[in-house]
């Protein structure tokens, strides 16, 4: 018990805990979408039961890691993230990821399995087509600024006050472009499916990732599979946060 307490108190720039809870029974590691940061998950602990500790994954290039170089590919991001998380795997844990974060969570889970480490009790992926499906051919990360901003506006995940503020855009655009490059260069490598429960969330009005692109996630696990469709567009995780967290709570309680 003393060893667990000491490990639990390890700090890392990779992990932000909105509400530290060293007595929690399970940790929920949350991977953000492209351009996202830990603040996305800052109020999640308020809607989750106390046996869950939220651990937001903070990638380089944001927050107190602003001066660090952002990743440009999953090839480098995934093994580094897996290494950073290992000291925090002293108790049961689960992964959640939205869009780019869903692919990151999935790939980190595979790295942990392949290296003989503890695996997540359950994997929650959200707003991301199944990894084995072909990526769309059009690249958006290298569009001219005005076209790239319109793409962000269309996706509805960047606040208007940011898109209409030149000084903020100078900070935000390079980071978002880099994250888009990471996602759009993703290359799936076929491996055996995971053997953990897999819960997939999708938005009913998400024109980017419809049900037909979410269903194939079931091929990535030999465990139980569940697809949950919620009202909203690609960023339904904000508008439907309470409903989604209720589902996450129920699934974590079950395991």
Query: So which residues are the catalytic ones?
Result: 99
Buried b (16+ CB within 10 A) or exposed e, 145-166: eeebbebbeebebbeeebbeee
Cβ–Cβ under 8 Å, residues 144 and 105: no
DSSP symbols for 134-191: PPPS---TTS-HHHHHHHHHHHT-S-HHHHT-HHHHHHHHHHHHHHHHHHHT------
Q: Return the residue matching tokens 């509805």.
A: 156
CA–CA gap between residue 251 and residue 12 (Å, rounded) = 28
Other C-beta atoms closer than 10 Å to the C-beta of 213 total 15
User: Rounded to a whole number, what is the largest CA-CA distance in the chain?
Assistant: 55
Closest CA to 206 of 175, 179, 231: 231
For residue 124, the SS3 value is strand
Token pair recorded at residue 67: 């001066």
DSSP symbols for 40-61: GGTTGGGGS-TTEEEEEE--TT
CA–CA gap between residue 60 and residue 37 (Å, rounded) = 10
């Amino acid at each position: 018990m003393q060893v667990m307490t000491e490990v639990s108190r390890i700090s890392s720039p990779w992990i932000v805990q909105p509400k530290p809870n060293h007595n929690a029974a399970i940790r929920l590691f949350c991977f953000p979408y492209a351009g996202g940061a830990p603040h996305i998950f800052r109020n999640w602990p308020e809607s989750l039961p106390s046996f869950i500790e939220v651990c937001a994954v903070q990638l380089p290039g944001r927050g107190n890691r602003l001066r660090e170089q952002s990743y440009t590919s999953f090839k480098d991001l995934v093994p580094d993230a897996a290494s950073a998380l290992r000291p925090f795997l002293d108790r049961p844990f689960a992964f959640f990821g939205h869009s780019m974060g869903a692919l990151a969570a999935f790939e980190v889970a595979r790295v942990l399995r392949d290296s003989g480490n503890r695996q997540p009790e359950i994997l929650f992926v959200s707003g991301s087509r199944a990894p084995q499906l072909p990526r769309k051919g059009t690249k958006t990360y290298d569009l001219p600024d005005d076209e790239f901003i319109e793409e962000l506006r269309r996706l509805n995940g960047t606040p208007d006050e940011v898109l209409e503020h030149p000084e903020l855009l100078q900070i935000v655009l390079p980071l978002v472009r880099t994250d888009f490059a990471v996602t759009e260069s993703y290359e799936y490598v076929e491996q055996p499916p995971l053997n953990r429960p897999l819960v997939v969330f999708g938005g009913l009005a998400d024109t980017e990732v419809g049900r037909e692109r979410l269903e194939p996630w079931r091929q990535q696990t030999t465990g139980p599979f569940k697809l949950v469709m919620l009202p909203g567009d690609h960023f339904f995780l904000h508008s439907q946060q309470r409903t989604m967290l209720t589902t996450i709570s129920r699934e974590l309680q079950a395991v």
